[in-house]
Structure 1
């Protein structure tokens, strides 16, 4: 948006905030993610536009035109140019800071920094040197994004967890029980998500109090726990995992 140089806003990236897709760094589910930005959990969702003003300060614009942001993200993912410039009438909120760390900055303006005198809480990425719910969810994002690398390392015999991990691991067993309970008592929107994974399979993602699960419906699962910093625990197929993943996939698609 460029009404004048001093009022310019330089877009760096966009993110979706919808029941089916939202920055999991914010929360375990869609309503809680909206709450982290002081937004109502509107069913149609929002688009988040991260950028800098003319002074270089970080800002996050919230637009109710999620489709516009979704088009931009899809184009960028394909290596295409897309001028994301949400009309002012669609911008429902402006938040100081960014919820994620970005490695890029707008050319010709000062380095990214926190705005001075901003009203309300300041958005900031989680500390990469710490471990907690945000880092756990981001770790699960990484596993889902680089599934084949993690899966290949498992096949090669690399241990991601302490001895005893798997269905017999107490924390993993708790996760599987709580995830199975979702099938009879559906959680808030976004707590379980599903996306195509190729070859007819789906990637299933579920989160709960202190845990994240990421899996493919045709393969194994990985679990991350708040109480086990940095650990990624592989869970074999076994007799019950396939049915659980199919049920979670169905739940995500019905509620998405």
Structure 2
């Protein structure tokens, strides 16, 4: 079982979620309580579950231990009495969108209609070890996502490719229940189709902003601005959302937003600055350019550059340290 833990509290909101504590609670449909939450992201048997707990003490202690050079272990930190809610899947900001169901690649490119499998388990021999698989039931159809690599193995449909697909699981041993479900899929699936792009949502906009921050140099190399035509013309309908977001970001300079809506990260001699609003995100490097993402304009990166952009980014960064 893989496990990640995220602290959500008035004094800490993860970069994946971004924004203020109130923003993050609203995004996760949680009440912004003073004590905050510990959010456990479980990945068990190829299924993801989010467990929300009220007790943040173990997470804070582990975080403090890790920052002091320790391991930051959270073994046995989850107490059943502290659980407030259990949800299927993960928040989209934390990687909860579609993924390859074989290697867990977060960018699947193919979609299969395959068997929805219920694995029947029995007690292990002599009650020692893991439960044993005693059978499978196909209870319907479901979507199976696959990346390019796993797709090629599935399409090859030979014994060697089956074993290579098992190797894609990423661990030394694929649990037998997982193997049983995969085997039913291997024998019962339709022709693949290209996977549709995930829906553009506020959560995906925030996740994209964080991804841009983490991989700024890669994005800048992939989308060079040398051929982009910039304009300062006011009143262009196609730029109305950008103008509105910029106006709100500039207003932050005079009326600072709640803590967390502006973030800054070292980037060599410069900084990468991120600012969030209710339906937009601004991410930029103080010595280069910036990008605006809008909820109502899906999948579009709106680039900005020039002295005004640089001044805005630096002004926003200065607010972080202001009293």
TM interval, shorter chain, is: 0.5 to 0.7
CA-based RMSD = 3.9
Larger Rg: 2
The Cα of 1:224 is off from its aligned counterpart by 0.7
Q: Does 1:84 align with 2:74?
A: yes
Q: Does 1:50 align with 2:41?
A: yes
CA-to-aligned-CA distance 1:77-104 (integer Å, 9 cap, x gap) = x9x9764232639956443232242739
Q: 1:186 aligns with which of 256, 265, 269?
A: 256
SS of 1:196 mapped into structure 2: strand
Corresponding residue number in structure 2 for 1:31:
22
Corresponding residue number in structure 1 for 2:222:
153
Change in CA separation of 1:92 and 1:244 when aligned onto 2, cut-off 3 Å: farther
Q: How does 1:37-186 map to 2 (within 5 A)?
A: 37-42=29-34, 46-51=37-42, 58-62=49-53, 63-65=55-57, 66-68=59-61, 70=63, 83-85=73-75, 86=77, 88=79, 91=82, 93-97=84-88, 98-99=90-91, 100-101=95-96, 103=104, 108=175, 129-155=198-224, 157=226, 169-186=239-256
For the 8 Å contact 2:3–2:42, the answer to whether it is kept is: yes
More strand by share: 2
Change in CA separation of 1:109 and 1:247 when aligned onto 2, cut-off 3 Å: farther
The Cα of 1:31 is off from its aligned counterpart by 1.0
For the 8 Å contact 2:21–2:32, the answer to whether it is kept is: no
TM-score (norm 2): 0.55
TM-score (norm 1): 0.67
Aligned residue pair count: 221
For the 8 Å contact 2:13–2:24, the answer to whether it is kept is: no
Task: Give distance in 2, aligned partners of 1:216 and 1:90.
Answer: 45
Corresponding residue number in structure 1 for 2:317:
249
Corresponding residue number in structure 1 for 2:300:
231
CA-to-aligned-CA distance 1:185-225 (integer Å, 9 cap, x gap) = 222232222222232x2221111132110012222111111
**Tell me, which stretches of 5 or more residues in structure 2 are unaligned?**
106-168, 179-195
Task: Give distance in 1, aligned partners of 2:21 and 2:44.
Answer: 28
**Tell me, which stretches of 5 or more residues in structure 1 are unaligned?**
1-9, 112-126
The Cα of 1:23 is off from its aligned counterpart by 5.6
Change in CA separation of 1:56 and 1:215 when aligned onto 2, cut-off 3 Å: closer
Q: Does 1:198 align with 2:268?
A: yes
Higher relative contact order, chain-length normalized (CA < 8 Å, sep 6+): 1
The Cα of 1:130 is off from its aligned counterpart by 0.8
SS of 2:265 mapped into structure 1: strand
For the 8 Å contact 1:72–1:84, the answer to whether it is kept is: no
Task: Give distance in 1, aligned partners of 2:85 and 2:25.
Answer: 13
